[in-house]
Structure 1
């Protein structure tokens, strides 16, 4: 089964809201004449899916395969397939190559996404005055923008903005 995208074309806002409210405390889900007992975790996942739809968001339902193609992995990471291949070759993600095609373990995607979230939340919002002065000193000493950015844990565009602000005041 391929990934499935749900949107407001599939269920109305009101319908999603009503279904989400109906899942509170429910231990049985009934569709048509079939009733199935569900765990609290399954109920919570179903409610979250419905709440996201009720909020007007699209929801992707993706089966968890042990090994993913590069296209499937790229889609989950919201990057192009060539970008993913570059990430694999640089060692950002582990992969297997049983034949001609690369396969990425789903656990590796989950690990990378968790790490990305952790890296982004640890990133400072801005550089203080001393750090900005150090950026200029390091760049004048010939250090690359990427290396300076890595030193401070920021994106290279942040270093570019610091340089632009410095050049405007100089």
Structure 2
């Protein structure tokens, strides 16, 4: 049987306005304990460009910069079984979502959900239900999503503009 994977704790500051939701951290991210730990993932490069911080800064500095811009990061899945890092490899019957009711109750400043890719949105809708906040699905920052960086950046810029 495939090992049960456990996701990471959310990255959240005092008054988040936007919650970016991935599906489940990659193998590299789980091993490092850092969101978007694959250096080929465009998440930190995109958010650094949008919010004016160094995407290669130490992880705690990047997290602090993101939180200072009222952006929180989490994943839809709390646990699952998966071989490798691809969302398509997650065993469908093994998916357990994070507790969004408790998260939303604790963070009432949230105004919008941003899904980092189609799998995050699909699994949220299937396991949690229709989003209770306005939401948008953006192109995945994963290197498996072959869209040009400039196009990804443009989509993310439009969604995260104040």
TM-score, normalising length from structure 1?
A: 0.21
Relative contact order, CA 8 A, sep 6+: which one is greater?
A: 2
Flag the structure with larger Rg: 1
Indicate the structure with greater helix content: 1
